[in-house]
Structure 1
Amino acid sequence: MKRQFFNDRFIQTFGYTQEDLPTIEQWWQRAYPDENYRKWVMSTWEGATREAVARQEDIQPMEYNVTCKTGEVRIVEISGVFLGDDLLATCIDLSERKQAEAKVRRYYQAMEQSGEAIIIADAEGVIEHVNPAFTLITGYTETEAVGQPTSLLKSGNQNAGFYEKLWETITYGQTWQDKVINRKKSGDYYPAMLTVSPIRNEEGKTTHYIGIQQNLEQFESLEAQLRQAQKMEAVGTLVGGIAHDFNNTLAGITGNLYLAKKAAGSLPGVIKRLDTIETLSFAAASTIQQLLAFSRKGRVEMRPLSVEPFLKETIKLQQISMPENIALQADIHGADMLMKGDINQLQQVLMNLINNAVVRCRRVKARPYAFSLINFMPTGISRLSTRELMKGNTPAYGGR
């Protein structure tokens, strides 16, 4: 089939000249160099042609990928009109439109899949579109938000001057950004970093505004945790310094105790009291180890220890400093058991447990407390508790 005519726009679009395509066969070969694709194009075009002839109507538009003379591939819409025995084929280059559509589609997908809340409002501040993240953060669905003013999220935490500055900035075509406290549908407040930018048309006139909200709830929670960690680090440093100074003081005390015991060798009563002071000094040394461990300057040592002797020794130590109006009774039952732990930290836990019981009845004239250890065999679980003993040894208070 001989090609009779094509116009200048055809040459500009595809690059082929009159000499390049003397017949339609050259068009098939050069426009569709891939053999399989060419067969498909020819089959669909011939089928559309037969159908158009049968119905006595024009060939409906179909999209094909046409290879230009330069090798560039363009998306082309081709249709046909019968002029007697001749066929006028019209080619419309859709490449730019398809690229624009793909670009718009990417923008839309980016907006819809963004993790930040996005609002598009008209020039008057009426919401026209929100993305799914907006619903997730605020609780308002698209149906509930569209048609509402952007003040829908207003919490009252910002004054009128804040919003006047916002509108003044975006009205002059500039981007505005600041931290805000907004209100969800549930009434809960949430912090957000809000960025508002104008959207202009071809003439440069602002027709819409786009607002992007970054939810700061998680960031502020992490920031609070960081501040707390910094505080604890500072406290640890302070505690470490105090423990160091206290340790030096304790060293002087124990040294003088040694000299005092040596000088009072013939006074048993004095020696006994000095031994008690020495025992309490060593207990204070254990407390210092706790402080150093807290300040990360000491090392926690996990070692196996026998529970029953450890409890008896600690209780004996506590009885020395027990107020006279409080009696401490040890009630330890069952076979001995082993556990792995840091003896200084365990001793501190036990001392805290007893001290809590002491504080409870410090102002009472006389009140006994029982301290008990019960070993649940064969589970290997032990319960350590204190209980207040009233008349008839009826427990009035208990703790584990």
Structure 2
Amino acid sequence: MTSAAIREQDGGGMRGLVAAIGSIAGVGLGFSITLPLLALTLEDRGISSTWIGINTAFWGLSSLAITPFVSRIAARLGTAQALALSILALAAALPLFYLSPFWLWFPLRLVAGAALTTTFVLSEFWINVAAPPGKRGVVMGIYATVLSIGFAMGPVILYFTGTHGMVPFVVGAAVLAVGTLPVLSALGVAPKLTDGHRTSFVRFLFLAPVATGAALLFGAIESGAFSLLPLYGQRVGHARDVVIMLGIGVTIGNILLQMPMGLLSDRIDRRKLLFAIASFGLLGAGLLPVVSADFWPFMLALTIWGGVVGSLYTVGLAHLGSRFTGEDLAAANAAFIFCYSLGGLVGPATIGAAMDAYDPQGFAVAVACFFAAYLVLVVTRMRHAQGR
């Protein structure tokens, strides 16, 4: 939820959860089909990694712009209606990428990014409203797992459709459009939003920097990895037909480890857990150049690394929830999503530039730098807390 709002319905209980979680699968599918497909298509057209990264960063730019207004859009159109329209907008944009010249990809990225962000924010809001308070952790674990399954489905679809021609774009659009069906089936139970007391989310960017920093880091790694990991795989010697499967290694780890990591976060200091996750992320980034030339060791490393790193978002959000309540939590959630979107802006551009500067291992170099910077932040905050 991106601003304080009044909840007028309970979100429809199980029916609402099925609708919202079904739509979140569309979010994951949208990311995992669109980002690698677009990157590979641009490379086929002779576009450099730097420009591919810059173009992908427009996705994050639109996310930053739309986030403060999502709840207002939902209040005016209705939560379910806005959710369904955003999924359809993303589906409609996908074939247009294939038909358009490169300069037109920038406004298309803005439209697609805004649609995907709206889907993400409203799905998460609906899940939080409909989840029973005593089972919220379990529901959020299911949510994260379904999201990861959505991420895994994209490369599978691309494997069977191929990455050349119009077919993968049309198939991806059709699958996304089907994702509106569970939402439309629950129109009557969707939570209603009305404008309430507005609390600016800006100050919450700095009140919980360990949590918001985790969102920024995760956004940078996730968007950068899904858009540029196939290119990294090609540069270290793997065939085009198999590099689209590298993202599955990351998502399998997410599917297996989201719920265990969430349960672990309820039992230990979340800042210490986030420090451990980031440390593991840095170690994994350093290992990638060692194993990247051999496909199956590369896939195994991505599975373990991706599963642990993927919990940055879940644990960071839990840490945020433990610090704020009510309207403050709503504003803090907006700050969290804003930072995630900011990561989506800086991640692909930075990683793409590093890949051109340090070919073929620039991908691993850039990812390692992101984790190192976050570790400095966490250590600084932990020392500050001990000194008080």
Question: Shared fold (TM-score greater than 0.5)?
Answer: no
TM-score, normalised by the number of residues in structure 1: 0.22
Greater relative contact order, per chain length (Cα 8 Å cut-off, separation 6+): 2
Structure label with greater radius of gyration = 1
